[in-house]
Amino acid sequence: MHTRTLGTSGLEVSTIGLGCMTMSGGYSTHPDQAEMVDLLHAAVDRGVTFFDTAEIYGLHANEELVGRALAPFRDRVVIATKFAQDIDPVERKVRGRMLTPDDLPRAVDGSLQRLGLDSIDLYYQHRINPDVPIEDFAGAVKELIEAGKVKHYGISEAAAETIRRAHAVQPVTAIQSEYSLWWRRPEDDVLAACEELGIGFVPFSPLGKGFLTGAIDTSTRFEDGDLRTQIPRFAADAMQHNLALVDLVKSIASSNGATPAQVALAWLLAQKPWIVPIPGTTKLHRLEENIGAANLALSDDDLARLTAVYSEVEIEGGRYPGFLEAQTNL
């Protein structure tokens, strides 16, 4: 596995990381945790060094899983986690408010304990709290860095101006936001801000929550509790329209002896050398498939066709229900 550096921070990670959210549920399944430990070990064995979790995933359970599984490899891996919501550590439920800067010392101590770390490699603000200036959060993370509890500062789902304001207080190492062939809002201004400021970019859902793998179509039925049942892009009419994008991805995959997922990831990797996608999976064969994208070099023509099809198809449906989308890009 090759490596990339997140911006000018010096933080070096594997070219493709691993998003760990679904290892604690999210797509209606509840994977066997012993199997997920084995999968995390397999990822390390195959050269993955960048692992992404958050305290909200599984309401602390995901951090515990990642910490337990990666304990033998702490000198070989980079672990990123996130804060945003106030979570009751005993009852494991969201208390209904977003964290404030004053809450961060308690929040980081909880994540450190669950992950079994002395210092968090990359600590993201998971969502922007509209009631608190971003400068206050940046200052609070700066204090955590000075205290040795955090090494690098990140922000998720932030607008370009928010990123600039935070970076002026505490240099930001990485921005994590959704970015893929079917969600390209970061191209509006966030990627330019990252390039200007020397910040790495970490796309989550780089495979469109499974849509870009080619394994989902209008006949797919999601189980109760699967978050995709709430997403407008997965409604039958929208999906039927959006499959035109997947058809091109499949065609290019076939001509390259690759899979649609590998093509979608290779397109992302080709956009900037400081972009590091974090596809998630609970299956070993999908992990190996995703890692294989790091060795796929698409032609200039293939890249141009993939870039153009987004406008040609005019993707239908929101990526989140309206109330959730309102919490992003602030």
- Catalytic residue positions, numbered: 57
Helix ranges (DSSP H) in 153-283: 160-169, 190-197, 236-256, 260-271
Q: How far apart are CA 263 and CA 276, in angstroms?
A: 15
Q: Integer distance in angstroms from the first to the last C-alpha of the chain?
A: 34
Q: How far apart are CA 60 and CA 62, in angstroms?
A: 6
Assigned token pair, 120:
């968090």
* Residues forming beta bridges with residue 93, ordered by sequence position: 88
> Within 13 Å, how many C-alpha atoms sit on residue 242's CB side?
23
Which residue in 176, 169, 175 sits closest to 194, CA to CA?
175
Contact 20, 131 (CB under 8 A): no
Contact 283, 213 (CB under 8 A): no
Strand 93-98 to 122-125 pairing? unpaired
Contact 265, 281 (CB under 8 A): no
Chain position carrying tokens 């989140």: 320
Instruction: Return the SS3 of 100.
Output: coil
Contact 175, 200 (CB under 8 A): yes
